[in-house]
Structure 1
Amino acid sequence: MIARSYTVAFEGMEARQVEVQCSIQPGLPGFAIVGLPDKAVSEARERVRAAMSEMGLALPSRRITVNLSPADLPKEGSHFDLPIALAVLAAMDVLPRDEVAAHWAMGELSLDGRLVAVPGALPAALAAGGEERGLICPAACGAEAAWVEGVAVIAPATLLEAVNHFTGQSVLSPAEPGEVRPGPPGRDLSDVRGQEKARRALEIAAAGRHHLLLVGPPGSGKSMLAARLPGILPPLDPAEALETSMIQSLSGLLDAGGISRERPYRSPHHTASMAAVVGGGRGAKPGEISLAHNGVLFLDELPEFPRAVLETLRQPIETGDVIVARANAHVRYPCRFMLVAAANPCRCGMMADPGRACTRAPACGAEYMGRISGPLMDRFDLRVEVPPVRIAEIADATPGESSAVVADRVAAARDRQAARYAGLDGVRTNADAEGDVLTARAGAEPDALALLERAADRFGLSARAYHRVLRVARTIADLEDSAALARAHVAEAIAYRLSAEDRRPEAVTDEPGRARTR
């Protein structure tokens, strides 16, 4: 008679049920695992054999066959060790078969029988709850999996504890959820001296989840400003925290089962590969853009990133998810992040200082910033020049507004957006609104829209740019608690949209379409 246990195989965020079937038949002694296992799964037979030997049990001198069904689904990872061991023990009549089949199981076995933590306990618990089953996982994963309500999570530390639980010799209590971890000490905006325009742009970006580009010479404070962005963002709501934690669980980033309400902040180096940024590699794991889901993705030295990597960001920015398609994998990950980038104006960074710029200025600046394609540049809602800070401003001991004060305004603006878009699926902030949803609910004054139309015609704004300016203007109005979109809101949004070249007097012309498209 075949014994069964159940586990999961991960396809991106989705946890698919895998039935582990074990048959012990007369024949030449052997232990075979079939069903498209990878190397780690195939090696499970040796770990199971050693762990059972530590308990004083020996595998029968018969032919043991373990089948992982469905057989055409690739099985990867060491978390198959525990369900294989449970199925073998049930087939040996050491464990009650019905009890084993009533749970999902996951966990890696060490040679001495200890259960080692594996990634993915949180999405596995969610999937187990959907099938009305409990979950057996290592003790180190119990606090993480226990966050899912309505799922009985049993977290033994060793295989022997799991056996004693199923046989009733020592029943384990359900695991308790981990603590809500406080975020690391935040960096405060009051540390920033000067840069009032950049601080204002940072606040607008946080309030509406707008993408922000900071351009300025080295040492002007671009990275310093970006590092203080998490301190003014509102905390994750419970649904966002669970969704973000699921991605972190798949990547093995949850510490002791604790879930954080802090929004993620990811800052990959410009040498990061495409797989590291977008996702992929072995098992098509989530990349930096997915790890920044519901948070901030900061790209310092933006033009230094490989162009192929930057171009892959265009679609995820628009759709809020990414599909990682490989020869042996086709998975989807959410990636609704806020993109913040920093760049020097040219290779040497001193183009704005005639006394220190190289002899190729300003051509070197156009060449350097030309590494960022027009379509990607078009997706930045706010573009801000960050000039050098004067020494007098640095020496000024008077602190600016603290992050707590700015965070209160940002939270109030987000609350207004939540009320405005209540009932609309997938629309949480102004950055998510588009088309009729944006225009119908913006409540703009006629002269405000007339100004935007003239600016779009004069500066050759694309349709995407037009709507992004409208979104930023709506966020500015929300920060001022204004129900109507006024001309001043639109004017400020336009100023953030246009680059220095667009704002030169010679670029302003009555001839439509003469200025470059932005």
Structure 2
Amino acid sequence: MSTARTWAVALTGVDGHLVEVEADLSNQTPEFKIIGLPDKALGEAVQRVHNACKNAGLDLPRRRLTVNLSPASLPKHGSGFDLSIAVSTLAAGGLIARRSISGTVHIGELGLDGRLRPVPGILPAVFAAARAGFDRVIVPKANEDEARLVPGVDVRAAASLAEVAAWHGADVAVPEVVAVDAAVVEPLHEEPLELADVVGQPEAVDALMIAAAGGHHLLLSGPPGAGKTMLARRLPGILPRLTEEEALEVAAIRSLSGDAVTRLDAAPPLESPHHSASVAALVGGGSRAARPGAIARAHRGVLFLDEAAEFSRVALDALRQPLESGAIEVHRAGFTARFPARFQLVLAMNPCPCGNHGVRGAECVCPPMAIRRYATRLSGPLRDRVDIDLPVARVAMNRAAEGRRSPLTSAEARERVSAARARASERWRATPWRRNAEVPGTWLRQGALRLGPAVRAPLDRALERGALTLRGYDRVLRLAWTMADITGCDMPGLDEVGRALHLRRGMTQ
């Protein structure tokens, strides 16, 4: 028998699919061919595998060699299949044990000298192998720490093809090879910013805590220097720490982005793309393999769009679908990738192009048409998905001189936010939702959780006048429930509904 089989992983977004790599030798004109819907990078594996085997002292037989990647209908991308192709061809030629490779998943790119190079997406690939029932995975040495984050899997890290072949019974000398460093950069972890550093913005701090407690989206509008960016960047610091499962989800997306993942980070991520970012930079994509964009990288954290009105209209409208579904889909001609995208959106914008419209003592040079046009850069459907519309004014000189900082520290605010989320989680324990912002409006407008007529009266009037859409009505209800959770009330009252309506429609209205 001249056929040998092993396994690799094809990634589509964060989803991994096990691929059976089978090699077959036949007594025909020497040729090396890969079939099974490989892309260009994978098709070039023929030369990499041939040279790597030769330089490792493992010459392939001069016969017709066919490698099939099954299922053939699944697109395969990238160079991470090199190692599995090499060991299957060596086993087909009788140089290593067929039985040994049949129950092992091999992931890695080969250099021409036989060294194993790291590849992105190791964490979701090893996850996929574990879910499929495999308990042994061989990865490049540079990806070892990342692969070991998956529990219950025997991870073996190798620096060269010869080392892998020796594990599988080949009679080959294993040279002392310096492992290839990961061709990725460890992301910079900044210390969380302190909420107590905020001066003279008690209403904004209160709204920030409400947004954190319920998972609500937030729009900060005001002139330059009012502290919009300062407030937004402190939101991740008051969010509850990620659970191990959530941290693994975030780490998997970072791995697909090409970041080095050596440990689990419990801090919620913060993504802040520049306003010149394209739609592809926000949504993600790629011509061959899908890479997550800023929307997916903000999963379980905060997506902050500073100078939101300067983003292209198409890029902003791309946010609407993930805000509702909690996921983003990337469609290309050859594949469709789905990434989780459950994040909190924070938008910051000026009142006009020059930033001085409505500011006391400042002169606005923008014509009325330009002011109106600037305000409509955020479409109505996108604004309707924002729970809190918070105007932020510049801090008065007397407050700044007094140096009155926020009475709440980030740690204290995080404790209150965690307590409020615990109340909400207990209330929704029999449902798929855990945060108030995720609960469908029908659950809040009907049944046992429906508020009394007197409490609903301001909302009903706003809906009848057309000041609120039904989606906005539901979002005010969610805000009211979050305020009740913060104060420890069993149900929202008229005060919570009034404050929620106030935040929803903007404090200056």
TM-score, normalised to structure 1, is 0.90
- Displacement, 1:442? 4.2
CA contact (8 A) 1:7 1:18 kept: yes
> Which one of the candidate residues 119, 135, 138 is aligned to 1:136?
138
Change beyond 3 A, Cα 1:271–1:443: same
Question: What residue in structure 2 maps to residue 104 of structure 1?
Answer: 105
- Which runs of structure 2 are paired with 1:26-65 in the superposition (5 Å)? 26-65=27-66
CA contact (8 A) 2:352 2:366 kept: no
Question: What residue in structure 1 maps to residue 422 of structure 2?
Answer: 415
- Indicate the SS of the match to 2:81: helix
- Displacement, 1:350? 0.3
Question: What residue in structure 2 maps to residue 8 of structure 1?
Answer: 9
Correspondence 1:365 to 2:360: no
Count matched residues. 491
Q: Distance in 2 between the 1:398 and 1:378 partners?
A: 34
CA contact (8 A) 1:278 1:290 kept: yes
Question: What residue in structure 1 maps to residue 496 of structure 2?
Answer: 489
Counterpart of 1:149 in structure 2: which amino acid?
P
Question: What residue in structure 1 maps to residue 206 of structure 2?
Answer: 200
CA contact (8 A) 1:351 1:361 kept: no
Question: What residue in structure 2 maps to residue 258 of structure 1?
Answer: 263
Q: Distance in 1 between the 2:414 and 2:236 partners?
A: 10
- Displacement, 1:429? 0.2
Q: Distance in 2 between the 1:200 and 1:253 partners?
A: 35
Change beyond 3 A, Cα 1:389–1:363: farther
Correspondence 1:153 to 2:138: no
Structure 2 residues not aligned, in runs of 5+: 175-186
Question: What residue in structure 2 maps to residue 403 of structure 1?
Answer: 410
Q: Distance in 1 between the 2:59 and 2:155 partners?
A: 28
Q: Distance in 1 between the 2:137 and 2:275 partners?
A: 40
Change beyond 3 A, Cα 1:90–1:356: same
Q: Distance in 1 between the 2:10 and 2:244 partners?
A: 26
Question: What residue in structure 2 maps to residue 455 of structure 1?
Answer: 462
- Displacement, 1:183? 5.6
Q: Distance in 2 between the 1:337 and 1:82 partners?
A: 36
Q: Distance in 1 between the 2:86 and 2:53 partners?
A: 8
Q: Distance in 2 between the 1:38 and 1:226 partners?
A: 42
- Displacement, 1:466? 0.3
Counterpart of 1:449 in structure 2: which amino acid?
R
Counterpart of 1:167 in structure 2: which amino acid?
G
Over residues 2-45 of structure 1, what are the superposed CA-to-partner deviations in whole Å (9 max), with x where a residue is unaligned? 11111111122221121111122223333222222222112212
Q: Distance in 2 between the 1:197 and 1:224 partners?
A: 14
Question: What residue in structure 2 maps to residue 225 of structure 1?
Answer: 231
Question: What residue in structure 2 maps to residue 281 of structure 1?
Answer: 286
Question: What residue in structure 2 maps to residue 513 of structure 1?
Answer: none
- Which runs of structure 2 are paired with 1:110-189 in the superposition (5 Å)? 110-133=111-134, 134-167=136-169, 184-189=190-195
Over residues 379-428 of structure 1, what are the superposed CA-to-partner deviations in whole Å (9 max), with x where a residue is unaligned? 11000111112233333344322111111111110111111111312x11
Over residues 444-480 of structure 1, what are the superposed CA-to-partner deviations in whole Å (9 max), with x where a residue is unaligned? 4543222322233345210000000010011111111
Stretch deviating more after TM superposition (329-338 or 140-149): 140-149
TM-score, normalised to structure 2, is 0.91
Counterpart of 1:203 in structure 2: which amino acid?
M
Q: Distance in 2 between the 1:435 and 1:198 partners?
A: 26
Structure 1 residues not aligned, in runs of 5+: 172-180, 504-518
CA contact (8 A) 2:18 2:132 kept: no
CA contact (8 A) 1:379 1:465 kept: yes
- Indicate the SS of the match to 1:214: strand
Q: Distance in 2 between the 1:360 and 1:334 partners?
A: 41
Over residues 163-192 of structure 1, what are the superposed CA-to-partner deviations in whole Å (9 max), with x where a residue is unaligned? 222228899xxxxxxxxx996311101111
- Indicate the SS of the match to 2:482: helix
> Which one of the candidate residues 320, 336, 343 is aligned to 2:349?
343
Counterpart of 2:375 in structure 1: which amino acid?
M
CA contact (8 A) 2:354 2:365 kept: no
Counterpart of 1:67 in structure 2: which amino acid?
N
Question: What residue in structure 2 maps to residue 383 of structure 1?
Answer: 389
Counterpart of 1:47 in structure 2: which amino acid?
R
Q: Distance in 2 between the 1:242 and 1:441 partners?
A: 36
